[in-house]
Amino acid sequence: MSDRVYIVEVGPRDGLQNEKTPISVADRIAFVEALIGAGLHTVEVGAFVSPKAIPQMVGSAEVLRGVSHHVNCELPVLVPNEKGYEASQAAGAKLIAVFAAASESFSRANINCSIAESIDRFKPVLARAKADGVRVRGYISTVLGCPYEGEIKPQAVVDVAKVLWELGCYEISLGDTIGVGTPLKARHLLRAVAGHVPMPKLAMHFHDTYGQALANLYAGMEEGCRVIDSAAGGLGGCPYAPGATGNVATEDVVYMLEGMGIATGVDMPKLVTATNVVSGLIGRPPVSRVAAALNAKMRAGK
Ligand code: HMG
Ligand code: MG
């Protein structure tokens, strides 16, 4: 399995969108810069969503403008509708992500519309993005379980993935929003979706609520999936996914991949430093096991 894996760092967006402590634009820019400095080339920097829904993402335009001088980096931002698209373009976004769900209840809670209505909102966004030369990623939430409906059938995920792919999303990221998946379910899901969207165009976006995310990623990699979304320090969560914890930690993913002989290009000490700074700001130690282990080692002077 020693080939290339692409990491999409979502800490500055997914990681911070659920935090109670407000993080200033300057600190968010510094966090993104530190992640890029640690060797992460795709960093999701913010979201052009309703400030009433997610006040933490206010200032995303300034964050994007503040970091957009990096020529070799991709800096995706979330966009739920045309209004968000226009704001993203005014800020210079070259890569955006639309976000749908595999469950009706989560779609309603998160973006206040049905799955079909969300697709209708994305259609003009995708058409305008195509005309503007902007690439669009497509997220699907609740792929392995929904906080309101429980189990989600793979077919429900396939149905949405097919539509997003046909509409022109270049990559579909499968979100285990509440981190309830287990490896065989993850594998089964990837197999089902890969019947309609090529495996190299699928990404795994697994939250780690039940401690299964690394095992699920490994199962997905065995199926051939090579794109992993993760958040520095294991930050993350969605206000509309009650009880869910953060994304799988980037440190833990990097440690696993490097241990498997898969080079990530990520400088672990720099990544842990970036995590420690943001942990200090939110007043909580990182949940990443690797970051905790390396911090303990450092404190012991080893
Ligand atoms: P709505 O209330 O149905 O929208 O919200 P609306 O069109 O009726 O507009 C209502 C108000 O919002 C209006 O303002 C609009 O101008 C404003 P008012 O007149 O009341 O002052 N508005 C906007 N403002 C800024 N940017 C916009 C925008 N659109 C409307 N783009 C809407 C629908 C989608 C906007 C809202 O529900 C929303 O913003 N939701 C965001 C939810 C969100 O960001 N969730 C977290 C990200 S998804 C996630 O974490 C999952 C993921 O990580 C994968 C996984 O883990 O599963 C990606
Ligand atoms: Mg997420």
Assigned token pair, 20: 């109670």
Task: Give me the catalytic one of 146, 169, 225, 238.
Answer: 238
Domain range enclosing 116: 6-299
pLDDT at 183: 98
Whole-number Å distance, alpha carbon 189 to ligand 1 midpoint, is 28
pLDDT at 237: 77
Per the annotation, the verdict on 238 as an active-site residue is: yes
229 is a domain residue: yes
Number of domains in the chain: 1
106 is a domain residue: yes
Cα torsion 281, 25, 44, 245: sign: positive
The distance of Cα 34 from the centroid of its chain, to the nearest Å, equals 18
Tell me if 114 CB under 6 Å of ligand 1. Answer: no
Query: Would strands 202-206 and 171-176 be described as parallel, antiparallel, or unpaired?
Result: parallel
∠ CA 127-132-136, nearest 5°, is 60
Ligand lying nearest the CA atom of residue 55: 1
Q: Whose CA is nearest to atom 13 of ligand 1?
A: 50
pLDDT at 46: 98
Nearby residues of 79 by Cβ (< 8 Å), 6 or more positions away: 47, 48, 85, 88, 93, 96, 97, 98, 125
Cα 137 from Cα 233, distance rounded (Å)? 24
Whole-number Å distance, alpha carbon 176 to ligand 2 midpoint, is 7
pLDDT at 1: 64
Cα 225 from Cα 5, distance rounded (Å)? 8
pLDDT at 301: 87
**Given the CA of residue 143, which atom of ligand 1 is nearest to it?**
57
- pLDDT tens digits, the chain, 302 residues: what are they? 658 999 999 999 999 999 999 899 999 999 999 999 999 999 999 999 999 999 999 999 999 999 988 889 999 999 999 999 999 999 999 999 999 999 999 999 999 999 999 999 999 999 999 999 999 999 999 999 999 999 999 999 999 999 999 999 999 999 999 999 999 999 999 999 999 999 999 999 999 999 999 999 999 999 999 999 999 999 987 888 888 889 999 999 999 999 999 999 999 999 999 999 999 999 999 999 999 999 999 999 87
96 is a domain residue: yes
Pick the closest to residue 15 from 46, 51, 61 (CA basis): 46
63 is a domain residue: yes
110 is a domain residue: yes
Whole-number Å distance, alpha carbon 132 to ligand 2 midpoint, is 27
Tell me if 238 CB under 6 Å of ligand 1. Answer: yes
Cβ atoms 52, 25 nearer than 8 A: no
User: What CATH code is carried by the domain that includes residue 203?
Assistant: 3.20.20.70
pLDDT at 2: 55
Q: Whose CA is nearest to atom 20 of ligand 1?
A: 52
121 is a domain residue: yes
140 is a domain residue: yes
216 is a domain residue: yes
